[in-house]
Amino acid sequence: MVGQVGVDIALNDAWSLNFDLRYVDISSDVEVEGIDVGYTF
Which string of DSSP letters, residue by residue, matches 13-31?
A: SS-EEEEEEEEE-----EE
pTM exceeding 0.85: no
pLDDT of residue 15: 97
Q: What is the pLDDT of residues 1-41, one digit of tens each?
A: 899 999 999 999 999 999 999 999 988 778 888 888 876 66
pLDDT at 27: 80
- How many domains does the chain divide into? 1
Q: Which domain holds residue 24?
A: 2-37
Tally the residues of the chain. Answer: 41
